[in-house]
Amino acid sequence: MPPENEGAELHYRALERLYVSAPVNRVFDSKLEITGKGHSRLTFTVTKDVFHAAGAAHGTIYFKMLDDAAFYAANTLATDRFLLTTSFNLHFTKPVREGEVVAEGRWVSGKRRVFVAESRLIDAEGDEIGRGTGTFMRSRMALSGLPGYTA
């Protein structure tokens, strides 16, 4: 593998460790995979613990899954700084009940200060259940200074 690909792979694995290290991710049964430059895949298990009164997952769960997938897809292009979500639009297309949901993230544009990425949610039946687009900007926080990133 050429050196630049090795560096990218190290960055991707470090982003996966960063995801695991975030305290909020202990609340959700989920796993992040960085599948390549500008691409991420999260697998979530949705349980009744996150349901609203009508028996389906609350919208905050959609946001969490969509934002994380888009964020990590964008952060594959930023190897020095942690990105921050500055805006996020989401669309619900189908209620989520119990089961596995996959969130796929894809970088769309931006390489310096502001990044745009999109994501979609796929349920266990293979149906798209939600879609989102986010804008992310570089923070002042160096990735190398975050404990999860530098395992």
Contact 106, 36 (CB under 8 A): no
Work out how many domains the chain is built from and give that number: 1
pTM of the model: 0.93
Domain encompassing residue 103: 3-145
Convert the pLDDT of each residue in 10-49 to its tens digit.
999 999 999 999 999 999 889 999 999 999 999 999 999 9
Residue 15 lies in a domain: yes
pLDDT score of 96 = 87
HSE of 44, CA atoms in CB hemisphere, 13 A: 28
* Averaged pLDDT score across all residues of the chain: 94
Contact 34, 18 (CB under 8 A): no
Pairing of strands 99-109, 114-122: antiparallel
pLDDT-derived band at 147 (thresholds 50, 70, 90) equals confident
pLDDT-derived band at 5 (thresholds 50, 70, 90) equals confident
Domain CATH code at residue 118:
3.10.129.10
Residue 150 lies in a domain: no
